[in-house]
Amino acid sequence: MTAPRLKLSLSFFSLLTAGFAHAAPGPEADPLNAFMAEKGLVSQIQRVEERATQKASELVVYAMGFLGVPYKLGGNSVETGFDCSGFVKAIYQQTVGLILPRKADEQALATQTIERSDLQPGDLVFFNTLHRAFSHVGIYVGDGKFVHSPKAGAEVRIESMNVSYWKRRFDGARRALATVSAESDTPSASATN
C-alpha cells in the first residue's frame, strides 16, 4: 500500500474508531468492530497511536532541553538562538525527522487542524501576535502549557495558554505527528520527503 493510501486508510479508520472509545458501541457497531479486528486493523491503529504518543513525548522532552536559549529573529539553532518558527522547525526535524516550513503561517498550512480540546503534547499552537493570523507558534506540552521562543530579549520558555495575553491571541491548534507516524509504518515512506 502506498504512503498516501495508508495515511488515508488510517485516518478513515481512526475516525471510525474514535467514537467507539467514548461510547458503548450499539448493535450497528459490532459488525464493523468484528471486521476491523478480523483484518488486524484495530491492532495496527493502536500501534500507530502508541508510536505517535512516544514520538510526542520524545519531542516535548527534547524541546524542554532548550529552555533558556535566547530569542533571535531568523534564528534556527542553539548557536544562533531561535525565533518561534525556527524553534519549532528545529525541534521537529531533530526529533522526528519532519521538515516543516520555515515561517509560522506556512507551518499552520502544512499541518492538520485540530480543536483546542483535542490538544496533545507535541501539537502546535498558533497565536496572532502581530495583527495577522498565525504570526506566532509554540509546541503544546500538556496541562494548558506550551514551550516557545517568544520575542527579542527573551529566551525559550514555558507559558500557560490560559494567561489573558495568550488566551486573547490564540489562533488555533495543528497536528503534525499523525502524518509522521502513518508514514513511518510504510517502509518506502520517509518523514523527510
- Please identify which of the residues 7, 55, 89, 148 carries the catalytic annotation: 148
In a 3-state reduction of DSSP, which class is residue 190? coil
Position of cell 489562533?
171
- Please identify which of the residues 7, 55, 89, 136 carries the catalytic annotation: 136
Q: Quick one: DSSP state of residue 152?
A: T
Taking phi over 0 as left and psi of -120 to 50 as alpha, with beta for the rest, 16 belongs to alpha
The Cα 74–Cα 83 span in angstroms is 6
Asked about 148 being catalytic, the answer comes back as yes
Largest CA distance in the chain: 60
Asked about 22 being catalytic, the answer comes back as no
Asked about 73 being catalytic, the answer comes back as no
| Contact predicate 125/146, CB 8 Å | yes
**Residue among 91, 63, 80, 21 nearest 157 (CA):** 63
User: Which residues are tagged catalytic?
Assistant: 84, 136, 148
